[in-house]
Structure 1
Amino acid sequence: MDSAVVKGVATNHLSMEWIKLKTLGKGSFAIVHLVKPTNSVSDDQVFAMKSCLYQLSSSLQKEQKILKRFFPCRNIVQCYGDMLSFEQGAVVYNLFLEYAPGGSLLDLINNKYGGKVPECDARCYARILVEGVRDIHERGYVHCDLKPGNVLVYPSDEYGSVSSLKIADFGLAEQPGERVDEPGVDPWMLKFPGTAVYMPPEGINYKKISASMDIWSLGCIVLQMVTGKLPWEYEDLTDLAIQLGSRRYSPKIPENMSSTGQDFLSKCFVRDPSERWTADMLLSHPFVLPDRPSVAISNKASSP
């Protein structure tokens, strides 16, 4: 455990000191720590702090600007600001995020459910995710990297035994419309806007970002919850691209799933993005509609 006190300064000159309690995760250029402010009067006041060298922080700074737009969306991870710190001779950019004590949805699938989520619970999780995706799209963004590892888990009284979920990791998020290819990149090299196995057919060598991409990815997450498997079996990215690009292949929807569940996934996996259902449309699908409470029937006999 790194117990050294770190001091950070924000752009408005506000300063704060914190202690790193433990490492939560590491990426290619950033690291996530659980931190606690030194002036906290409560043991519960902790943050997930995503940090990287300032010269590599363009993606984190972009994420901070985007997350500001999603306050106070209940199904999107909340951001509490950013600060610069000076550590080991380098300037570090720090992004303070809402801490998820339950880890990621991938952890939940594997640890709580042993690899497969019962459909009754998957329906609740699917509704939470659709609500979050709708909020993202209503505010003019496409997440572009929806997957179980980018969905965080929180305790919730509202759903009983089912946890609450919040969508996180907006570093690859974009606004709908044209996207310019990176200069100097081999035009024949396969490129995906997000994680390849969760991408829709139009995600191969993408030219344009659209909200419908997130809907396909959402379907992949629900499919993985109920089957415990990735939506595609493939040998390499070329094999995956062939399957995505061919109408002979599609994610296999389980036969033992309810008819409403199968229909929900079929609406997510429409190959033509213009025909794919939107998040608003999916919210009215029977698969994610809350169960209606049974109506009590009076057994009182009427007097003659």
Structure 2
Amino acid sequence: MDIKYDEPLYVHELSLQTVRVLGQGAFGSVSLKAHPGLGLYAKKTSSIRLKENLKKELRIMLYFRNHPRIVQVSSDHLHLGILLKDCYIYMEYASEGSLDEVISSFGGKPLPEHVIGRTTRMILQGLEALHEHGYVHCDLKPENILLFPSTSLGDPWDAKLADFGLSKEPNTYHVLKSAGTNMYMPPEVSEDPEGLVGPALDIWSLGCVVFEMFGGKSTQMEVGVSYVWKLEQEISPVAIDFLRQCHKWHPWNRASATELLNHPFIMQRVPLRVPLLIPSPTKIQYLERPLFTPRVRGPLPTPIGPRKRQQEAATMGKEAQGSVVKDKSKVEQNDVDSEELFMYELCNSC
């Protein structure tokens, strides 16, 4: 793929000074670097054995260069450490932190609904761009949604998607067992870990993120089965319906990112408000995560069936989207079970 740039991407490494470590985990670290004339950069470093993951992350960010909902890179190539033990890339610095930090600062209380709606809209805009070009994020969660100073009146921040080390690229073979973090993964991961990844995986994860912004908590229904999310307070009917569209039990019954962008929860307008005051978090971390996480596997209480959106499946056609269920009654029962599970999620703590 040929990538054309409006201007060259560069980082003057010799002039960079380390400000502080933003996050550190078992599989890498992120540090804040400063240049006297060019500002701040985030340097993401990984072990050389994870070079391909970091190369893929760089490749995806370059493909979506200048997209307002995708974190941008500051250099167009992967850098190798002096002793070839590690590798690293440079990215723009998210000065407002991550969505996970904001959620943690509220101490389990929900964010204001209008803030949740606007933040979710930005996340969906990033997902729509990924899905339209054949990409799937595969690890959508609050830690991987970075926040920047707002460029529009009424928004407390601009949200961007980050961390594409586990993402699926177009025309590549990617199975469910290779994706994301357990508590944000959909039920089909437990049912068929060798199944193919599709956009519906990100939509389920998005629902989990919205649950978390509303103060929701995740629990494991039983050993080896996916997590479910529960709320301890009432939310608006449009928010309930939005979550229902994200958490359809059958993956192909879930709404697409484009459909969700037109949902009333996203489209509703609210008066301009006083800027949101974010409590100071007790500990700041940035992109601290392992690139690979263990997965819980096990049977689902309901089968996995075919997608009902034939038009969408026909346009994607180059790779299989899931298994086919010949018994239609099972698919119908699947939808009933999905609705009962969703109501359990919302009402379990009432």
TM range (shorter): 0.7 to 0.9
Distance in 1 of aligned mates of 2:93 and 2:172? 34
From the two aligned structures, give the one with the greater helix fraction: 2
Q: 1:80 deviation in Å?
A: 1.8
Report the AA paired with residue 208 of structure 2: C
Correspondence list, 1:1-304, <5 A:
16-17=13-14, 18-37=16-35, 40-42=36-38, 45-81=39-75, 82-87=77-82, 89-111=83-105, 113-115=106-108, 116-160=110-154, 162-175=156-169, 179=173, 191=177, 193-204=179-190, 205-227=193-215, 229-230=216-217, 232-234=218-220, 239=223, 241-243=224-226, 251-252=229-230, 256-291=234-269
TM value normalised by structure 1: 0.77
Whether the aligned pair in 2 keeps the contact of 1:192 and 1:203 (CA below 8 Å) is no
Distance in 2 of aligned mates of 1:15 and 1:258? 50
Runs of 4+ in 1 over 3 A off after TM superposition: 12-16, 53-56, 89-92, 175-181, 250-255
- CA shift in 2, pair 1:36/1:273, >3 Å: same
Q: What is the RMSD computed on CA atoms of the aligned residues?
A: 2.8
Whether the aligned pair in 1 keeps the contact of 2:168 and 2:174 (CA below 8 Å) is no
Distance in 2 of aligned mates of 1:107 and 1:226? 14
Distance in 2 of aligned mates of 1:50 and 1:149? 15
Report the AA paired with residue 32 of structure 1: V
Whether the aligned pair in 2 keeps the contact of 1:35 and 1:48 (CA below 8 Å) is yes
Distance in 2 of aligned mates of 1:254 and 1:269? 18
Q: 1:73 deviation in Å?
A: 0.9
Distance in 1 of aligned mates of 2:10 and 2:210? 44
Distance in 2 of aligned mates of 1:256 and 1:129? 23
Higher normalized contact order (CA 8 Å, seq sep 6+, divided by chain length): 2
Distance in 2 of aligned mates of 1:291 and 1:256? 20
Q: 1:177 deviation in Å?
A: 7.0
- CA shift in 2, pair 1:208/1:86, >3 Å: closer
Report the AA paired with residue 41 of structure 1: G
From the two aligned structures, give the one with the greater strand fraction: 1
SS of residue in 2 equivalent to 1:97:
strand
| Counterpart for residue 7 of structure 1 | none
- CA shift in 2, pair 1:105/1:13, >3 Å: closer
Distance in 2 of aligned mates of 1:254 and 1:276? 24
Distance in 1 of aligned mates of 2:244 and 2:80? 48
Q: 1:210 deviation in Å?
A: 0.3
Distance in 2 of aligned mates of 1:180 and 1:220? 22
Whether the aligned pair in 1 keeps the contact of 2:166 and 2:178 (CA below 8 Å) is no
Whether the aligned pair in 2 keeps the contact of 1:176 and 1:211 (CA below 8 Å) is no
Distance in 2 of aligned mates of 1:94 and 1:243? 34
| Unmatched 5+ stretches in structure 2 | 1-8, 273-350
- CA shift in 2, pair 1:191/1:96, >3 Å: same
Whether the aligned pair in 1 keeps the contact of 2:30 and 2:44 (CA below 8 Å) is yes
- CA shift in 2, pair 1:67/1:161, >3 Å: closer
Whether the aligned pair in 2 keeps the contact of 1:254 and 1:262 (CA below 8 Å) is no
- CA shift in 2, pair 1:180/1:276, >3 Å: closer
Q: 1:223 deviation in Å?
A: 0.6
Distance in 2 of aligned mates of 1:130 and 1:180? 22
Distance in 1 of aligned mates of 2:262 and 2:145? 22
Whether the aligned pair in 1 keeps the contact of 2:61 and 2:73 (CA below 8 Å) is yes
Structure with higher Rg: it is: 1
Q: 1:69 deviation in Å?
A: 1.0
Distance in 2 of aligned mates of 1:254 and 1:159? 31
- CA shift in 2, pair 1:51/1:255, >3 Å: closer
TM value normalised by structure 2: 0.67
